[in-house]
Amino acid sequence: MKTIDVLLYIPNLIDYFRICLLVLAWYYFDKPIVFLTLYATQALLDAVDGWAARKFNQVSKFGSWLDVIIDNIGRGIIWTRVSSIGIFISSIEWITFLALNSHGSDWKSKLSSNNDLIIRNVMKNGFQTPFGFLTIVLGMHGLPIIIYTIKYRLLFDASSFLLQNIKIICIIGRLFSLYCEIYVIYLFITEDLLK
């Protein structure tokens, strides 16, 4: 397979479009409706690129790498603008990405069979469990969006009971994410991920 072919895979073309949407989202960050529309569109395309990769048998190391890079950039855009700890969270996500990818593409299978109960439950079925949803979707992806929504007073009053409870659930998910990230970084430092 030629490199140019992989670069032009349908899921990778979708990801290039996601990058364009994120650039526009960054530009319109202070216009909440425009920002959320652009950001939500690229987030929905994140699901579409995975579907396209499987549907057209165009799964590649480059594509899986690019997908996570775009996710980190997207979350970093929000985190660094809505929270004083945003740079810390974004940095931890990037360090985790580097730690995982330094050991090859089979990191998911290595972590899925890990002895740690939290790691195993987050990783089970490719994150597609209630615990994985809480940790990845609500904690990593949802929390910065909820904070953005509160900051710009969208949808609900910032003090609304519903919004505050959603925020608490997302914070719990993000704490599980942080646990997993620190665990992965520890495994990388001690080289236990190789085993």
pLDDT digits (tens, 9 = 90+) for 59-116: 888 898 899 999 999 999 999 999 999 999 999 999 999 988 876 666 777 777 777 8
> For the CA atoms of 42, 45, 50, 51, what is the dihedral angle to 10 degrees?
170
Q: Tell me, what's the pLDDT at 157? A: 66
Give the highest mean pLDDT range of 18-22, 50-54, 56-60, 181-185: 18-22
pTM for the complete prediction? 0.85
Placement of tokens 């090859």 in the chain: 104
Return d(Cα 195, Cα 187) in angstroms, integer. Answer: 10
Of the candidates 67, 71, 106, 157, the residue annotated as catalytic is 71
* 67 belongs to the catalytic site: no
Determine how many CB atoms are found less than 10 A away from the CB of residue 2: 7
What DSSP string describes 73-98?
HHHHHHHHHH-TTHHHHHHHHHHHHH
Are 74 and 26 contacting, i.e. CB atoms less than 8 angstroms apart? no
Query: Please, which pLDDT band fits residue 126 given cuts at 50, 70 and 90?
Result: confident
